[in-house]
Structure 1
Amino acid sequence: MTSPDLTAPVAPTRPFTRSHHGDDVADHYEWLRAKDDEVVIAHLKDENAYTHSRTAHLAGLREDIFQEMKQRTLETDLSVPTRRGNWWYYSRTVEGSQYGIHCRAPLADPDDWTPPELTADTEIDGEQVMLDGNVEAEGHEFFSLGSFDTSTDGTRLLYGVDLAGDERYTLRIRDLSTGTDLADVVPNTSAGASFSPDGRFVVYTTMDDAWRPDTVWLHEVGTDAAADQQLFHEPDERYWVGAGFTRSDKYLMIGVGSSITSEEFLVPADDLRAQPRSVWPRREGVEYESTHAVVDGEDVLYILHNDGALDFELVRVAASTPDGEREIVLPHLPGRRLLDMSAFRDWGTVAYRRDGIVRMGLLDYGTGAVRELDFDEPLYTVGASGNPEWAPPMIRLGYGSFVTPGTVYDYVVDTAELLLRKRQPVLGGFDPADYGQERVWAVTEDGVRVPVSLVWKRSFGAPGDGPRPVHLYGYGSYEHSIDPGFSIARLSLLDRGVVFAVAHVRGGGEMGRQWYEDGKLQSKRNTFTDFVAVARHLVDAGYTTPDRMVAEGGSAGGLLMGAVANLAPELFAGILADVPFVDALTTILDPSLPLTVIEWDEWGDPLHDAGVYEYMKSYTPYENVRAGVQYPRILAVTSLNDTRVLYVEPAKWVARLREVGADALLKCEMVAGHGGVSGRYNAWHQRAFELAWLLDVLGLAA
C-alpha cells in the first residue's frame, strides 16, 4: 500500500494576523493566496506529486473504473433534435473525441413537430456542423462554452469560449452559410449572451473585478466592440445581473438579484435602446420572477413571488402596468414550493416541489387550473427543457431517477400523451431492475425529520439487512436541492456493493423555503448537525458502520464536509471534499474577493457584524481544526483557476490538517475551474481518481 518513506509537503508558516472585532487570529498559511508566486505554484505541484505517489497503488483500479464508465457509455451518439425556426438542432459525440459537435438539419415539413430519429451511422440530409468543440479546443488544455445561440433567421451563430476555467468568455459570431467568423470579438463577458430577435444585436453581460455580473451591453453585429452601448449597470455590490429575451420575443428582460431580493426590468425587443422599465421596484427580502404571455389578446406578465408568501405564489398582471392590480393564479400553499412558470402562446408550464419531489404541470390560462403530470417512480426528477418555440403543440421534458437513465419525453398538450423520445443508453447489460431506491428519514436531536435518499444494487441485499459500505453525499446551501438523478460513474460503486445515500439537509430546498431558511445565516449549523444526524441514523439503523462510510460534498457542500470532519470525525472513514469552501470566514471578510458581498445574504456579514463573525468563526472548518483528534482520511480536490472557491482555501485547510497529524491529500488541477477539468474523457479520469480513493478508504480497492 503506502510507502513508509513518502513525506507530505510541509507548507512553511509565515507570520500573518487577521484582526476583526477585537479578535486577532494568527493565519500562518495565508501566504498561499499569492497565486502568481512561484513558491506557491511549486508547493501546489509538490502536493500533486505527493498525492500521486500516495495513490499510485490505485492506478489499476482507476483505470478499471475509467474503462467501466467508458464501456457503459455510447460514445458515438446524438441528442434528441430540438426544433427552432426552420431547423432541427442537436449535438453529436464521437468516440475518441473530448467535446460535443453542435449540428443542425433543415426541417422537411413546417407542420412536423416529431423530431427525426437520428442514428450515428446514417447520413443526415442537409446536416450542417455549426461548431465542433474538438476543433475549437485544439491547442488548449481547457475549453468551455458559456454562450451558444443562433439568430432567429438561422443565419448566424453566437458563441462564447473560456480557455482558462475562470468563467470569462470571449464572444464571437459565425456566419453559418460560410462557416467563417465575423470580425466581431467581445472579450471578458459572462455566460448567457443572446441575439436580439431581429438578429441585428447581441445582448451580453460583463463582470466587475469581484467576478460579479454587473453590466448589460448592446453590441451591434458588424461593429467594433469598443462602440458597444451600456444598457444597464447595477452599482450595488450585493446584486448580480442577467439578461435574456422572453420566449415571445416581445421583451428583453434584465434581472437583478441577490439571494433574498430581486428586481426585473423590461425593454421592448424592437427598441433596445429604450430606458429599462422596472416590473416591481425592489424591496428587501422580496424575490420575484416574471414571464410574458398573451391572454385574450392582452399582454400580461405572470409573476412568481414571495411577497407575504413563503413558498411563493403566482399572480397575473397587465404588462403595461405591472405594479397595478394582481390576479392570483396559484395561491400560496405552505408545503408546495412554487419553483418556475414558463409561458407559451396557448398555455404555460409550472414546476413546484411537494413532499421533497419536483412536480410538473400544465397551466390553463383561462381557468388557472393545473394538470399535473404523473410518473410512477417514488423518487424522480423532471423538468421542462429545450423549448425555444413560442407556439409548440408539445412540451419537451427531461426525466430521470437514481435507477432510470436520463430520459427525454415530449408531452402532447391536447392529448396528454407522453412520448418517449430517447433514454440515455447504458451499455454492458445494465438493467434498472437490478437496483433499488427509497427514501428514509433521520431524526435530529431537536426532532426534525431529515429525508435521506438511498440507491443500491439488489444482489447485495437491501440496505439495513446488514452493515454495508456507504457513500453519503450532501450539499445544503442556496436552496439548492439534490434531486434523484442517474449516474453512470456511480454504477462502479453500486456494483461493488456500496450504498449511495443523499442527506437532504437544511439549507437546501428539498422541503420548501423554510427548509432553506433554517439552514442559512445564524441557523447554518443546522446543515452540519443534520448531516451528522443522518450519518448516525445510518449507523444506528444497521445500514453501515463508521469504518465503512465515506462522506462527499463539493463547493458549499465542501464546507459541510469540513464542518462535519470537525464535529463528528469518528463517524467517517473518509471525507472527499471537492472545491471545498473551507476557509469561509476569511473569504467572507474580504469584499474584494470574488462574490463575497453577494454572499453576505447567505452567510451573514462578519465584516460589519461581530455576532456574525463570532458565529461563523465557530463553524468554519479551517478555523476549527483541532489537535488531538483522529480525523478520517481526507481528499481535497481543487482547481487553480476556480473563481468561485479559490484554490487557497483547500490548500490552507490541508496544511492545517497536516499540522495535527491528519492524513490529508490535496489534488489541484493546474488548468481548470470550479467545475473541474474540461473534456469528457478528462472528466471521467478525474472522477475515476476520486472513486478509486473512495473505494480504497472503504476497503474495496482490491
Structure 2
Amino acid sequence: MKTLLAALFLSASAVATAGAQTSAPATLPQPPVAAKKPHEVKTPFGAVRQDEYYWLRDDTRKNPEMLAYLTAENAYADRMLAPARPLAETLYRETIGRIKQDDSTVPSRTRGYLYYARFDTGANYTILARKADSGGTEEILLDQPKMAEGKGFFQIGDWEVSMDNRYLAYAEDTVGRRQYTLRIKDLKTGALLPDTIGNMDGGAVWSADGRTLFYVDKDPVTLLSKRIKAHVIGTPASSDRVVYEEKDDSFYIGVGRTSDDKFICIVMESTVSNEARCAPAADPTRFTLLAPREREFKYSADHVGNRWIIRTNWNAKNYKLMSVGDGNAARGRAAWKDLVPHSDTVFIENFQPFTGFLAIEERAGGNKRVRILTDAGKSSPVQADEPAYAMSLSGNSEVDTPWVRYTYDSLVTPTTTYETNVKTGERRTLKVQPVPGYDPSRYVTERVWATARDGTRIPVSLVYAKGFRKDGSAALFQQAYGSYGSSTDPRFSPVNPSLLDRGMVYAIAHIRGGQEMGRGWYDDGHLLNKKNSFTDFIDVTRYLVDQGYARKGRVAAMGGSAGGLLMGAVANMAPQDYGVIVAQVPFVDVVTTMLDASIPLTTNEYDEWGNPADKRYYDYMLSYSPYDNVTAQAYPALYVGTGLWDSQVQYYEPAKWVARLRARKTGNNPLVFRVNMEAGHGGKSGRFERYRQQSEWMAFALTTLKVD
C-alpha cells in the first residue's frame, strides 16, 4: 500500500493528463489524478453509460488502490487549505466561545423521574441522568464521555427506560454507519446485562411488564429496516421472535409507543403510503391493522384516553386530523370522523394529544407554529413577533397535564423553551439557550419573497448585522435542502454571528421539494418536477443580488446530502453565479445509484426520485444528475466532504464526482475533497468536532470570497 500511495502522489504532482483541467500555477500543489477504468452501466431497457470511475466503489472499504486515492485527496486538501487554517481556527474559537460548556437540557418528567442531559466543561458528549421528582441525588444512566473514550466515532441512537423504571435499553454506534448495537443496563445494580443485539435500527420499545423489547432488525447489505423482532431479557438474540416482516423494499418500518403508553405500534412508511399495526403494551402479542396501505394514502395515529387521533391526507392534500373511538377502531377509516378540517393555506405537520386537548404543529406563510385545540373546540395559535421563525413541540412526555412545552427559534433568537397552561393561559420561560457574548439586538432577520422563473414566489429567510447596507457589495452565504418534504427552518446557530460580524448576509432559500408552503410545495419539487428545486435556488440567488444583498459571484452556496445534489446541479447549471460551493455528503450519482437495488436505501427512494428502470424517469434523472452532467466549463471553487462509512450517501458518489470534475473542468478555481475516514453521514461525532469540521469549509468559503 505504501508503494501504491507513493505512486499516486507522484501522479498527483505530475502534469495533468490530456483532457484534464487547465494547469494551476506552479506554486500550487497538483491534485491527485484518479485512474480511468472502462465500465458500462446498463439499464433494463438497454441504455448504456460509461462510468470510468466506477472502480472507486468498494463495499468492503478495503481496496488498497481506492484507499490510497482517498488518502491522497486528504493530503491534497491539507495542503490547499493550509493558508486558511488560521482563519478556520479563529472561526472555531469564536463558535465554541458562544457555547455554554457546562450546559444541560430542561428536565422532562416521566413516571416519577426527571430526565435530562448535561455537558461537563470541555466534554464532547453529554451525560444522561435522572433524579426522582420528589428529590434525591442524581443517577447517571449513560456516561457518554467515558463510553466514547478511545473510539474514533461514538453515538447513542436512542434510549428507552422500561415502564417499571428498572431497565435502560440503548442503541450504540461506534462506526458511523447507523448499524446500531442494542444494550441493556440494569438501573438497580448499574450492571450491563449480557443481552446484546447487533445490526439494529436506532431505537427500541419496552412492553408494559419491562421484560420484552421490540426493535427493528436491518438487512446487513441494503441496511433497509426489514423486521420487527421481540427480545426477552435473559434469552439469546438468536431466539428473538419475528413479530413482523416487511416484504416491500420501498417501505421503511419502525416501532414506537403511543403518547399514553397504552399501545405499541409498528409503522410501515414509504414516500406515498403507510400503515400502522398496534397492540396493547400490556399484551403485545396481536397487532391490529388500523388502516391498510393504499398508494397516495398516508396517515399517522396516536392514542389518548379512549380514542385514536389520526393525521391523514385522505381527501386532504395539506392533511387534516380525524378521530375514532376505541370501540370503532377495528372498522378502519370508514369509522374515522373529521376533527380538524383540511385547509388550502395551512399544512398540518404534526400533533400531540393530551387529556382534554391537542397540540398541533402547522405551517403557514412559510413559518412553523404551534396551535392548541381543546376538546371543547377552542383554538388558540401561539403568537410570534418575528417575520421568520420556527416553533416545535418538545419534551411533552406525559399527557395528563395542562402544560404544553415547545421551543421557539429564529435566525436572531437563540432556542427558547416555553410552556403554556391550556387552562389558565399562563406562559412561562423554562430556558433561553445561553450564548456567551451574543447580543441579539445587533442583528436583523427578514422574510423576503423571490420570484422564480415560472412565477412562483419563494420564501427566503435572511439575517444580517444591524447597519447593513444593501449596496450590492456584500458577500452572501445561501443554504437550502429541498427534498423529501423536509423543511429547512430558520433556527439559531452559534456559527452565524461569525459570518454576520464580517459583513456577510446569511440566507435560507425555502425551495420547492420541502414542505414550508404545504404538501404541494413538495409535489412541485420531486420526481418529474425535481428541477424546480434547482432553478428555485438559482433564482433566489439572482433575486438577492438584484436587490443589493450581495454582489454577483460573491455568493457561497451550501447543501448536504440531498442538498448536496442541489449543489451539484447548481454547479452545472449556473456556475457563474457562485464564488464557492460547499457540498457535504452529496447525492450526486443519481442514476447509477437508483439503478442498483443493493445500495442502501435505493428501493425506498423510487417515489422520491423515480425508478430509472422506467425510461421516462431515466431520461429525466440523467438530465440533471450532477455526475452525468459535468462538462468542460469553469466551475466555482468547490469544497466536497464525505464519510467513508456513510450509510445514506455512499462515499464513492462524491469521490467519483470529484474525479470527473478534476478531469473535465476548466480554469484554476480550487477543488478540495475532504474524506472523513472514521465517520458516516453526519461526520465526526461530538459537539465540538462538528464545529471544527464546519470551520474548515467556512474558512475556505470566506477566503475564496475575500471576506476579512
* Bin of the TM-score, shorter chain as denominator length: over 0.9
| 1:122 matched residue in structure 2 | none
Structure 1 residue 466: Cα displacement: 3.5
Alignment of 1:55-74 (within 5 A): 55-74=81-100
Structure 1 residue 2: Cα displacement: 8.7
Q: Deviations over 1:439-496 (max 9, x none)?
A: 111112211111111101114x14x243210001111111111111000012111111
1:543 and 1:164 map into 2 onto residues whose CA distance is: 42
| 2:50 matched residue in structure 1 | 26
**Bigger shift: residues 130-139 or 616-625:** 130-139
Does the residue aligned with 1:676 lie in a helix, a strand or coil? Answer: coil
Residues 5 and 696 (structure 1), Cα distance of their counterparts in 2 relative to 1, 3 Å cut: closer
| 1:245 matched residue in structure 2 | 257
| 2:654 matched residue in structure 1 | 650
1:443 and 1:357 map into 2 onto residues whose CA distance is: 18
Does the residue aligned with 1:215 lie in a helix, a strand or coil? Answer: strand
Alignment of 1:83-232 (within 5 A): 83-108=109-134, 125-208=136-219, 209-232=221-244
Q: Is the 8 A contact 2:148 2:154 kept in 1?
A: yes
| 2:512 matched residue in structure 1 | 506
1:433 and 1:316 map into 2 onto residues whose CA distance is: 45
| 1:411 matched residue in structure 2 | 420
Structure 1 residue 368: Cα displacement: 3.6
Residues 2 and 105 (structure 1), Cα distance of their counterparts in 2 relative to 1, 3 Å cut: farther
AA of the residue aligned to 2:628: E
Does the residue aligned with 2:49 lie in a helix, a strand or coil? Answer: strand
Q: Is the 8 A contact 1:2 1:54 kept in 2?
A: no
Query: Which of 327, 331, 339 is the matching residue for 2:349?
Result: 339
Q: Is the 8 A contact 2:277 2:288 kept in 1?
A: yes
Q: Does 1:37 align with 2:63?
A: yes
AA of the residue aligned to 1:71: G
Residues 91 and 78 (structure 1), Cα distance of their counterparts in 2 relative to 1, 3 Å cut: same
| 1:377 matched residue in structure 2 | 386
AA of the residue aligned to 1:236: D
Residues 301 and 279 (structure 1), Cα distance of their counterparts in 2 relative to 1, 3 Å cut: same
| 2:637 matched residue in structure 1 | 633
| 2:27 matched residue in structure 1 | 4
2:72 and 2:340 map into 1 onto residues whose CA distance is: 58
| 2:13 matched residue in structure 1 | none
Q: Deviations over 1:82-102 (max 9, x none)?
A: 111121111110112111011
Q: Deviations over 1:571-591 (max 9, x none)?
A: 000100010001111111111
Structure 1 residue 155: Cα displacement: 2.0
Structure 1 residue 343: Cα displacement: 1.4
1:386 and 1:2 map into 2 onto residues whose CA distance is: 56
1:24 and 1:590 map into 2 onto residues whose CA distance is: 14
Residues 3 and 639 (structure 1), Cα distance of their counterparts in 2 relative to 1, 3 Å cut: farther
Query: Which of 624, 631, 636 is the matching residue for 2:629?
Result: 624
1:368 and 1:350 map into 2 onto residues whose CA distance is: 13
2:560 and 2:87 map into 1 onto residues whose CA distance is: 23
AA of the residue aligned to 1:437: T
Q: Is the 8 A contact 1:214 1:240 kept in 2?
A: yes
Structure 1 residue 214: Cα displacement: 1.8
Does the residue aligned with 2:448 lie in a helix, a strand or coil? Answer: strand
Structure 1 residue 5: Cα displacement: 4.2
2:25 and 2:377 map into 1 onto residues whose CA distance is: 65
AA of the residue aligned to 1:36: K
Does the residue aligned with 2:271 lie in a helix, a strand or coil? Answer: coil
2:137 and 2:686 map into 1 onto residues whose CA distance is: 28
**If the length of structure 1 is used for normalisation, what is the TM-score?**
0.94
AA of the residue aligned to 2:27: P
Q: Deviations over 1:125-166 (max 9, x none)?
A: 411111111111112110001121112222221111000000
Q: Does 1:396 align with 2:405?
A: yes
AA of the residue aligned to 2:671: A
Does the residue aligned with 1:657 lie in a helix, a strand or coil? Answer: helix
Q: Is the 8 A contact 1:329 1:368 kept in 2?
A: no
Alignment of 1:663-682 (within 5 A): 663-682=670-689
1:258 and 1:350 map into 2 onto residues whose CA distance is: 23
**Bigger shift: residues 658-667 or 34-43:** 658-667
1:2 and 1:55 map into 2 onto residues whose CA distance is: 16
- Aligned pairs, how many? 675
1:308 and 1:585 map into 2 onto residues whose CA distance is: 33
Structure 1 residue 669: Cα displacement: 0.3
1:245 and 1:251 map into 2 onto residues whose CA distance is: 6
Q: Is the 8 A contact 1:330 1:368 kept in 2?
A: no
Q: Deviations over 1:182-219 (max 9, x none)?
A: 11111111012122232121111011231111211111
Q: Does 1:266 align with 2:271?
A: no
Query: Which of 352, 362, 365 is the matching residue for 1:352?
Result: 362
Q: Is the 8 A contact 1:405 1:423 kept in 2?
A: yes
Q: Does 1:424 align with 2:433?
A: yes
Percent identity between matched residues is: 40
Q: Is the 8 A contact 2:215 2:255 kept in 1?
A: yes
AA of the residue aligned to 1:623: D
Structure 1 residue 69: Cα displacement: 1.3
Does the residue aligned with 2:514 lie in a helix, a strand or coil? Answer: coil
Q: Does 1:476 align with 2:482?
A: yes
Alignment of 1:415-494 (within 5 A): 415-428=424-437, 430-459=438-467, 461-462=468-469, 464-494=470-500
Q: Does 1:364 align with 2:364?
A: no
Q: Is the 8 A contact 1:205 1:217 kept in 2?
A: yes
| 2:551 matched residue in structure 1 | 545
1:512 and 1:598 map into 2 onto residues whose CA distance is: 22
Q: Does 1:533 align with 2:539?
A: yes
| 2:307 matched residue in structure 1 | 300
Does the residue aligned with 2:89 lie in a helix, a strand or coil? Answer: helix
Residues 2 and 223 (structure 1), Cα distance of their counterparts in 2 relative to 1, 3 Å cut: farther
State the superposition RMSD in angstroms.
1.4
AA of the residue aligned to 2:54: E
2:580 and 2:28 map into 1 onto residues whose CA distance is: 22
Q: Does 1:558 align with 2:581?
A: no
2:319 and 2:585 map into 1 onto residues whose CA distance is: 32
**Bigger shift: residues 322-331 or 651-660:** 322-331
| 1:119 matched residue in structure 2 | none
Q: Deviations over 1:616-636 (max 9, x none)?
A: 000000000111x11101110
Q: Is the 8 A contact 1:238 1:598 kept in 2?
A: yes
**Bigger shift: residues 191-200 or 69-78:** 191-200
2:565 and 2:377 map into 1 onto residues whose CA distance is: 42
1:312 and 1:99 map into 2 onto residues whose CA distance is: 38
Q: Is the 8 A contact 1:196 1:245 kept in 2?
A: no
| 1:689 matched residue in structure 2 | 696
Q: Is the 8 A contact 2:170 2:203 kept in 1?
A: no
Does the residue aligned with 1:673 lie in a helix, a strand or coil? Answer: coil
Q: Deviations over 1:69-127 (max 9, x none)?
A: 12111111121111111211111101121110111112127xxxxxxxxxxxxxxx411
AA of the residue aligned to 1:527: S
Stretches of structure 1 that go unaligned for 5 or more consecutive residues are 110-124
Query: Which of 311, 316, 328 is the matching residue for 2:318?
Result: 311
AA of the residue aligned to 1:144: Q
Structure 1 residue 344: Cα displacement: 1.9
**Bigger shift: residues 339-348 or 586-595:** 339-348
2:650 and 2:90 map into 1 onto residues whose CA distance is: 32
Does the residue aligned with 2:328 lie in a helix, a strand or coil? Answer: coil
Q: Is the 8 A contact 2:304 2:399 kept in 1?
A: no
